[in-house]
Amino acid sequence: MPFPTFLAIDIGTGTQDVYLLRAGLSPENGYKLVAPSPTLVIRDQIQRATRAREAILLTGVTMGGGPCAWAAEAHVRAGLRLCATPNAARTLNDDLEVVEHELGIRIVSDDEASRLQDVTRIQLRDFDWDALRAAFAAVGHDLRPSAVGVAVFDHGAAPPGVSDRQFRFDYLEARIRQANRLSAFAYRAGEVPASLTRLQAIVDSADILDAPLVVMDTAPAAVLGALLDPGVSRQLRQMVVNIGNFHTLAFRLGPRGIEGVFEHHTGLLTQQRLETYLSAFADGSLMHQDVFGDRGHGALVLDPTPLPLDSIDGRPVVTGPRRSLLQGSSLQPCFAAPFGDMMLTGCFGLLQAMSELLPEATQAIRSSLAHEAHDRAPWDAED
């Protein structure tokens, strides 16, 4: 019998990081792929259509915006026609009135979309199972995982008139108060809250899977993965900072769980500014309005007991594609690289969450991540 395999996909703004854990082997012998993020792929498709002066129809589901949304807006500004089905249009803004009347994009029903002619059709989705299978098939592996995990950043669908920054942070706080653990930000398919439309879109896109699916927010996944670095896991209390391309999120963690959370926009931060925030977060003095008033998401401190940053074990732990923002910092951060690979930190955290949510996978995932099942050479393992 082949050993079970577990697929983790961490989808960011710059890259999508794919890792296949092969149970029975050490994590270093898993298969990995770092590829352009779906939003960059869609951006390139839109830009090709813009250069060719073609009308566009966006179909599919809600996915991550950023680059693809900016390309869509530039297409309209170029005087070219762009239509979108409702679910696809929510990639650009949750409020379809804004999409149609402010962005100039025509909303069409799925039925009308099927009849449109003389348009370049572009399907929006974060999770492309056919592309993943093809990528692995190209190197000789038949991708049939025992379970799949996908992480994306989800602002949530804020009601009209409600700040999406505040809505996002209210969600973070509510989940922490409800279940004080990082895996609380992961869900089995069928259990995703209705407001988390991007996570739900992953579930909808993965309906062809013949395997259990777990979806999770990217930032907690990265923090959970950073804890698998041996130099981090020995600390009793930690501050772990994920510096993503768009968002920077930090958790304070202690013996009783999550002590606090802080989230801001990476593009608005300098090294000095981030150091100031993290120092205040560590000593318990950081206030929500300090961050929200600075165009960030917010801050929550549940345990104001100071976390000393001036000791070897108290240094902030940093991960994420923009981690160089704290390179050379006076805070002397520790740069986490679980199993020797920073780019897969989110994938490893996602696997850890999968081991908590999928009882049938618990032993296989945890024994592999704990290096308890690597007594065979990888060429002796059955695929």
Spans of all domains in the chain: 5-35+128-221+342-380, 38-124, 233-336
Average pLDDT for the chain: 93
Q: What is the mean pLDDT of residues 194-218?
A: 95
Q: Which fold has domain 38-124?
A: Rossmann fold (3.40.50)
- Looking at residue 370, its pLDDT comes to 86
- Distance, in Å, from the CA atom of 50 to the CA atom of 75, rounded to the nearest integer, reads 6
Q: What is the mean pLDDT of residues 9-24?
A: 95
Coil, helix or strand at residue 301: strand
278 burial class (0-12, 13-18, 19+ CB within 10 angstroms)?
A: buried
pLDDT digits (tens, 9 = 90+) for 312-355: 667 899 999 999 999 999 999 999 999 999 999 999 999 999 99
- Distance, in Å, from the CA atom of 300 to the CA atom of 277, rounded to the nearest integer, reads 12
- Give exposure, 329-338, as e/b (b: 16+ Cβ within 10 Å): bebebbbbbb
Tell me how far CA of residue 279 lies from CA of 78, 294, 309, 327, in angstroms: 46, 16, 8, 16
Partners of 5 in the β-ladder: 22
Architecture of domain 233-336: 2-Layer Sandwich (3.30)
Residue 39 tokens read as 């939003």
- Looking at residue 1, its pLDDT comes to 46
pLDDT digits (tens, 9 = 90+) for 39-50: 999 999 999 999
